Amino acid sequence: MPTDANASTTKRLERRDVTHVARLARLALSDAEADKALDELNAIFEMIAVMAAVDTSDVLPMSHAIEMSARLRDDVVTEPDQRDAHMALAPATAAGLYLVPRIIE
């Protein structure tokens, strides 16, 4: 799928790109929803193409909207065992484990 924002030509998504991304995101899209998503995403890519036309060769890439550095914490254990409270939220538990459908490797 097109990810290169600096590409000079507008890339267009295809229907199979949408269904692929939907599958990776575990989204069940109907055909109509997929068509709609395709149109909307392509509109976004057109906007990206407009932005990509700006010369940014002397601008540092930005990874976060706030210009600050990460705050760090000391290596200290601060969290008590709250297993029972957490497990009460889960649909199925046993022997201190969360239960999920069998994972086949």
In terms of Cβ atoms closer than 10 Å to its own Cβ (0-12, 13-18, 19+), residue 41 is: middle
Sequence-separated (6 or more) residues with CB below 8 Å from residue 90: 98, 99
> 81-94 burial, b if ≥16 CB within 10 A, otherwise e?
eeeeeeeeeeeeee
Minimum separation from the CB atom of position 96 to another protein (A): 4
* ∠ CA 36-41-42, rounded to 5°: 100
Between 30 and 78, CB nearer to another protein: 78
Please report whether residue 65 would count as binding another protein according to CB under 8 A: yes
Between 32 and 70, CB nearer to another protein: 70
Please report whether residue 91 would count as binding another protein according to CB under 8 A: no
Q: Among 28, 54, 68, 88, which residue interacts with another protein (rule: CB under 8 A)? A: 68
Between 32 and 67, CB nearer to another protein: 67
Q: How many residues bind another protein (CB under 8 A)?
A: 40
Please report whether residue 4 would count as binding another protein according to CB under 8 A: no
